[in-house]
Structure 1
Amino acid sequence: MRKISLIGFVMLIVSIPTFAGGLLTNTNQHAAFLRMLSRGATIEIDGALSNPAGLAFLPNDGFYMGLSIQSAFQTRNIDASFLTYNGFSGIDPTTHQPILTHSEKPYSKYYEGKAAAPIIPSVFAAYKKGDWTISGFFAITGGGGKASFDDGLPMFESVAMAGIFRESLEKHLTPGGKSPIVIPGMYDISTAMDGKQYIYALQLGLSYKINDWLSAFAGGRMNYFTGGYVGFLDAKMKADLGGADLMHLALDCDQTGWGFTPVIGVDAKLGKLNIGAKYEFRTNLNIENNTKKIEASVETDALAPFKHGVNTPNDIPSMLSVAAAYEFLPVLRASVEYHFYDDKKAGMADGKQKYLTKGTNEYLMGVEWDVIKRLTLSCGGQITDYGLSDNFQSDTSFSCDSYTLGVGAKVALSERANLNVGYMWTTYEDYTKTSKNYNGTGLSGTNVYSRTNKVFGVSLDYKF
């Protein structure tokens, strides 16, 4: 095992979407979204993100502001089963290579990952004067948390197991060699991985009320990416077999980058019907390594992408949002919405986007009811449909189709202040990936990817 493939270990670009939205985009930044989900046709302050053109129809001139705090908790689990090598039955007379044998029963293990973001702040602001409205927001529009796999990942262990076996076999077959063939059960593997990822965004733009029913918006968003990935794997013979070191791998890599997103939008206010649309252009975003540690007890060129100073594409895809809200009664309103994320045209590490079968489609709806003058109850739903494939999914970055439900309330504290409270949870469809060459080991294996997501938020909106 002078040189083995360790792609699985070093691909520590961990996608940590603890929010709603596409593969790399967080759409929920305000508790109003959590309680209703469909906000693409709103004309309240959270429209600075979801419908900036609609802010031209704010009821009065003046300064508006919103402050939101959310807490998000997610699990990312992998139920893995894969075959391992356990010996060889001789040398192939044609190829002169060892004929390897494998276990009859797959090695199986459940890997649990947890991602938490206890405090996620967002700030919204708008100033309206006549037909003009300037608006903006500051938020974490991508990532937003830390993911921890305390027992590592199956790609780590499977590659290590195969590598340990092959190295021991090579030593065993060396003329005069007396080294034992090392198989699972003769050694212990200690491995863990942490990853964190944030995209901080600051957006500014102008809305203009063209006439009594139509407005337009143009603006831009600065995005700053920061992430960090720390992982290790150590394999040692069991103490009663001598405790010798078999393999050591370690990586500590920080990454940063920035990009600019042009944003345009329109809003049509047609009596009780309001239609909002927004388009965010693709953001060219490269992240650069600040690598503190790369260690490997074996030769590999797979660590090259994580050397200090190396740049990796991590584009934010373009996004189209179209929504319609209708007032059925003075106290009853409903909204429907559609999102499209053009993920296939967004550059990803190693051109991973080419394995997607399509972009992401999202379908949202929400309803709100003014129970009394100062209390509004609401609920909503969202369906997210990715264009996933086996080649796109990996242990360190996997997604699952899902549906999301949200509930909550808005309380009018005064004529100037509103309090929004919302809770959102997501149910994911498990994704099963079966491979005949599991992580490049030459043996078959299966991963079942599953996730959970829960977000709670509270927001205070104030009109000065």
Structure 2
Amino acid sequence: MKKIFSVAAVAILCQTVGVTSSLAGAIDNLHNYSAEYIRTLNRNAATDSADIVAYNPAGVMAMDDGSYVNLSLQYLDKDYENILTGLPNGQDGTLTQDEPSIIPGFFALHKKEKWAAFAAVTVPAGGGKVDFEEGSATLQLLNLSIFGGLPLTAQQSEGEEVYVGVTLGGAYQLNDDLSVSAGLRHIKADRSAKASFTNAGGADVAVDYESEADGWGGIFGVNYKASDKLNLAARYETRTKLDFEHTVTADTALGAPPTPTLLQVIGVTDGMEERRDLPAILGLGLSHQCTPALKVDVNLTYYFNEDANWAGAEDDVNDGYEFGIALEYAVNDRLRVSGGYMYTETGIDVEHTVAESPKLDVNTFGGGFAYALKDNLELNVGLGVSLYDDDSYQPAPTTIPGLTVGYEKEVIFYSTGLQYSF
């Protein structure tokens, strides 16, 4: 019983938004930054737009000389379900959330001859809010572990998590075929969670906290033009050290002093710090111009989850990866259409994920178009869907046979972006 309590309490503390595993990313990381990404899902070897300062920064040397400003906006329709069976209080059923997320991305580039400078503002993790208005599996497990599973008369759980990354960097053309890049990224991370429930025995439980952290990381790239038709690229993002400082505004006493409060049971107190690094990433890409009109991109992105410091939680995960392929066809000089596929293996087992933001393996499909409104103004539009693998587990140890927690997710996404060059 004590272990059930601890796992559930940690889930409330670590409650996050779920965009991390939507579209792109392993457990914490994400990189669905731009409309160009949404319509292809594969940008690791791209050389055609300013958003590549975040995907293939060394590849900017393949673009025409000049200055570029690129802005994207994404809308994510997130449907998450917690499915509970075998509860002793008879409250089996499905608890849901459908709070959407809106994610912006900004990119700027100036290239001249052998040099380039660039900047980006992105959301490398988090990305919005979840709101389980009628409660979540976390609260049912807490109620079971503390009060034996008396029926809940009211419950609610919500969380928000946003990481803002600001990147500055440069690239250099070593020779006709090879270019390199280096950049520095600062991340400001803000997280918050609020949860409460009341049961038939009159017990009121509530927690409310915020936490924030900031850190620095490096981003390095190399781009190699193997031939007129084949481009190869690699990008490495270092681990970003993040020490989150908690500010607790509401907690629940579990008995008379010196009995600890709910959050104190797992060592969370006002003003304490907790380590949760953003893992390192290796992105590899291949882009092949099959015909003058048809281009194929293949990507592999690897997430070094095990090397991050998560205050011990990294021992319960494996590294994650993504593999994808995209096709783009130039209909004419102004219009290009595209479609892409991506498979994501997150690297975490279902029993270690968070009910409010389950990290499930996923198949993602995207498509869209790019249209040149003017010679120096391009519109990108993309849409798609992430279809997650349903998963479930039996909390252990437990004396309740048949108690099962299941997760289902689906995310539909839309994006539009404009790029202006001068």
Fold in common (TM above 0.5) = yes
Q: Which amino acid aligns with 2:146?
A: G
- Report the equivalent of 1:91: none
In structure 1, distance between residues paired with 2:78 and 2:136: 17
- Report the equivalent of 2:164: 200
Q: Matched residue of 2:313: which SS?
A: helix
- Report the equivalent of 2:404: 446
How many Å apart are 1:214 and its aligned residue? 0.3
How many Å apart are 1:436 and its aligned residue? 4.2
Structure 2: runs of 5 or more not aligned: none
Residue deviations 1:298-317 (CA, integer Å, cap 9, x gap): 44454124321111122111
1:47 to 49, 52, 58: 52
Whether the 8 Å contact between 2:370 and 2:381 is mirrored in structure 1 is yes
Q: Matched residue of 2:93: which SS?
A: strand
1:415 to 364, 369, 375: 375
Distance change (3 Å), C-alpha of 1:115 and 1:346: farther
Q: Which amino acid aligns with 2:320?
A: T
Whether the 8 Å contact between 1:288 and 1:311 is mirrored in structure 2 is yes
In structure 1, distance between residues paired with 2:280 and 2:405: 31
In structure 1, distance between residues paired with 2:262 and 2:252: 12
How many Å apart are 1:437 and its aligned residue? 2.4
Q: Which amino acid aligns with 2:415?
A: G
In structure 1, distance between residues paired with 2:145 and 2:160: 29
How many Å apart are 1:326 and its aligned residue? 0.9
How many Å apart are 1:24 and its aligned residue? 1.2
How many Å apart are 1:33 and its aligned residue? 0.7
2:342 aligned with 1:404: no
- Report the equivalent of 2:327: 367
How many Å apart are 1:157 and its aligned residue? 2.1
1:313 to 259, 263, 275: 275
Whether the 8 Å contact between 2:16 and 2:191 is mirrored in structure 1 is no
How many Å apart are 1:124 and its aligned residue? 0.3
In structure 1, distance between residues paired with 2:238 and 2:152: 49
- Report the equivalent of 1:353: 314
Whether the 8 Å contact between 1:381 and 1:404 is mirrored in structure 2 is yes
What's the Cα RMSD here? 2.1
In structure 2, distance between residues paired with 1:287 and 1:421: 36
- Report the equivalent of 1:15: 16
Whether the 8 Å contact between 1:428 and 1:450 is mirrored in structure 2 is yes
Q: Bigger CA drift: 218-227 or 394-403? A: 394-403
How many Å apart are 1:151 and its aligned residue? 1.7
In structure 1, distance between residues paired with 2:359 and 2:402: 22
In structure 1, distance between residues paired with 2:99 and 2:308: 25
How many Å apart are 1:6 and its aligned residue? 6.0
How many Å apart are 1:79 and its aligned residue? 0.9
2:190 aligned with 1:226: yes
Whether the 8 Å contact between 1:6 and 1:302 is mirrored in structure 2 is no
2:240 aligned with 1:283: yes
In structure 1, distance between residues paired with 2:99 and 2:309: 25
2:92 aligned with 1:108: yes
Residue deviations 1:143-183 (CA, integer Å, cap 9, x gap): 11100111212232233245334xxxxxxxxxxxxxxxxx8
In structure 2, distance between residues paired with 1:10 and 1:277: 36
Whether the 8 Å contact between 2:350 and 2:358 is mirrored in structure 1 is no
- Report the equivalent of 1:163: 146
Structure 1: runs of 5 or more not aligned: 86-105, 166-182, 238-244
In structure 2, distance between residues paired with 1:345 and 1:11: 22
2:287 to 311, 322, 325: 325
2:129 aligned with 1:146: yes
- Report the equivalent of 1:252: 208
In structure 1, distance between residues paired with 2:287 and 2:6: 51
In structure 2, distance between residues paired with 1:10 and 1:252: 13
In structure 1, distance between residues paired with 2:400 and 2:262: 18
Whether the 8 Å contact between 2:31 and 2:123 is mirrored in structure 1 is no
Q: Which amino acid aligns with 1:11?
A: A
- Report the equivalent of 1:134: 117
Distance change (3 Å), C-alpha of 1:157 and 1:5: same
Residue deviations 1:381-409 (CA, integer Å, cap 9, x gap): 00011223244224244211111000100
- Report the equivalent of 2:180: 216
Q: Bigger CA drift: 441-450 or 206-215? A: 441-450
Distance change (3 Å), C-alpha of 1:10 and 1:412: same
Instruction: State the number of aligned residues.
Output: 409
Whether the 8 Å contact between 2:18 and 2:357 is mirrored in structure 1 is no
Q: Which amino acid aligns with 2:71?
A: L
In structure 2, distance between residues paired with 1:415 and 1:159: 59
Structure showing greater Rg: 1
Distance change (3 Å), C-alpha of 1:8 and 1:300: farther
Whether the 8 Å contact between 1:253 and 1:306 is mirrored in structure 2 is no
In structure 1, distance between residues paired with 2:350 and 2:372: 48
Residue deviations 1:191-249 (CA, integer Å, cap 9, x gap): 11110000000001110000001000011110000111111111234xxxxxxx2x111
In structure 2, distance between residues paired with 1:455 and 1:382: 14
In structure 1, distance between residues paired with 2:187 and 2:17: 17
Give TM-score scaled by structure 1 length: 0.83
